[in-house]
Chains A and B, each alone.
Chain A
Amino acid sequence: MLESIIKFESVCKNYGNTHALTDLTFNVAPQSIFGFLGPNGAGKSTTIKIMMGLRRLSAGKAYVLGNEVNGRNPDILSRIGYVPESESLYSAFTARQIIDSIKPYYPKWDKNLEKTYLEKFELPSNKRISEYSLGMKRKLQLLLALSCKPELLIMDEPTLGLDPITRYKFLQTLVSEVAQGNMTIFMSSHNLSEVERICDTVAFIKNGKLLELKKIEELKKKGQRMRVVFQKDIPASALDIPGIEMLEGSGKHYTFSISGDASSALEELNKLPIFVMEDLDLSLEDIFIRKMEEK
């Protein structure tokens, strides 16, 4: 078994003078659900396109499913399911025609799985794509990506524009697929709650550089989110204590995160007239915002 399903070694990608990716190095372990997070223009889609062979590297090495990639390779692509950010499909075609056009190229295409997903997603296979809603198009993309029984599923903002119910069903399908098979999922998303729900590992990227890569549990252990009620009004400047970040509130009520050495920050805090102090769950969103605000 491969040690890494995806391996990037000092990958750089330049578009003219713009550095889309700089010295990007990371590994994705087999059978993991890997979340790739970053603000707009961070380099998430470029990274995904390099994996798919749709972009060439400017420097470094990239390996997907044990093969070096630097351009399209149909042998590797036949083992990957891909849900792109754009929902562009052939609008004059029916779902059936799209399926029939591409399935001959996937040696492991599972007709039963295709049928199951058509029914599960309630996709009318003889209706034109132009008559499909955005959610239906996304579901069809997922059907195409899953019916080929991929070893690696790559998704770029897969739930973008989906309503909560469709998003829930979509994620449920992904989790059950991973639980059943030997699939690894790599996904980029802006929806941090869904990443938190299904991913076991996350990487933060900003300006084409990797900021951090950790298991979600480890990330959460690294910081605390707290709510404090003081006995009297306290100016925000009084909470200008090393380690306290993302301060919100005013007067007696404040919420903040503590990073780094929590004990020294708490020691300083205890010097203030605290009425109540409670631990809150640190969400991935809190961690994300903190990461993005770090210089």
Chain B
Amino acid sequence: MGIFYKEWLESKWKLITGTIVFTVLSLLNVIMYPWIQTFMTPDMARLMESMMREMIPFIEVPALVPAFDSWNSYLYGSWISKTLYQSMIVYIILVASPLFAGEENKGTLEFLWSKPISTLKIVSAKYFVNVSGLLIIALISTFILYPASLIIGEKFDVSLFALGLVQAIPGFVMLFSIAFMMSTLFKDSIKAMVSSIILFSIMSVPSFLPEFRHLSIFRIFQGFNLLANESLMWSAILIFVFVSAVFFTLSYYVSSRKES
């Protein structure tokens, strides 16, 4: 377990900082609600919807009126469908890119490779410790909304948010796996980061094309299907899990072939 202990030591501050930042972002949605309620009257929401549809016709504009009408719709729409996944993409790029590339850059990878630890253990420790961190951040920052809702006298729909995470988290893990693989390919964290950003940008292209929008992973993260009382997108979840496994295997393969 030594290598997991080492990874935990290296990752704990990222996890603590990430949890604090995500929790603050999450609670901001609660703090902002009274102000939004005052500002976003149904008439104002309708006006904004129509303006957005005219100005950016190629983007699907969410229905704003119902979103501000109910507490859970508002909270789900602004947290799960927006802030959580957008922030998580940034977090994933920042955390995954230096895992191998950063160690190579600092010269500590040679120290690690010269120890009698199997490559699979080294790769697994880096991967699973950081994926666990990602899960912990997503869970804490989402379910902190439960007591926060109670404090302001609103009812929190636990099942809706739990299902939202069930759909989004495998996608986050998939993005993490891609960024993790990029980290094994490069000797420089910045290069690994840039390559992940380019790949994620390419993956976002379907979001801008109406006929391919349903293929966008970012749209699946938003989980509008759950808000419309539809079921979980199991096929997408299975694809996320499969792609994650493929990229984990590739990371292992690249690492085991690599010369330090």
Contact = CB atoms under 8 A, between A and B. Distances in A.
Contact of A104 (B1, B110, B111): B1
Contacts of A89: 108, 111
Given A84-B111, A103-B2, A104-B1, A78 B106 contact: no
A234 B130 CA distance: 76
Contacts of B108: 88-90
B2 A100 contact: yes
A56 B5 contact: no
Nearest to A89: B111
A105 B115 contact: yes
A106 B108 CA distance: 19
Given A74-B116, A77-B116, A100 B111 contact: no
A82 interface: yes
A82 B6 CA distance: 19
A101 B2 contact: yes
Interface in B97-145: 106-108, 110-111, 113-119
Contacts of A82: 114
Interface residues of B, number: 22
A55 B5 CA distance: 27
Contact of B3 (A71, A88, A101): A101
A93 B114 contact: no
Interface in A75-104: 75-78, 82, 84, 86, 88-93, 97, 100-104
Interface in A36-93: 49, 52, 54-56, 71-72, 74-78, 82, 84, 86, 88-93
A133 to B, nearest CB: 17
A55 B260 CA distance: 7
A156 B6 CA distance: 25
A54 B117 CA distance: 13
Interface residues of A, number: 29
B10 A86 contact: no
B117 A105 contact: yes
Given A54-B259, A103-B2, A92 B10 contact: yes
Given A100-B2, A101-B5, A78 B116 contact: yes
B66 to A, nearest CB: 48
Contacts, number: 69
A120 to B, nearest CB: 22
Contacts of B118: 74
A74 B117 CA distance: 6
Contact of A86 (B3, B110, B119): B110
Most interface-central of A91, A93, A102, A106 (chain B CB within 10 A): A102
A100 B2 CA distance: 7
A264 B260 CA distance: 52
B10 A84 contact: no
A72 B106 CA distance: 20
Contacts of B110: 54, 84, 86, 88
Given A88-B106, A102-B2, A97 B114 contact: no
Contact of A105 (B111, B116, B119, B256): B116
Interface of B: 1-3, 5-6, 9-10, 106-108, 110-111, 113-119, 256, 259-260
Those 10 A-B pairs whose CB atoms lie nearest each other, nearest first: A88-B107, A78-B116, A77-B116, A101-B6, A104-B2, A74-B116, A105-B116, A101-B2, A82-B114, A54-B260
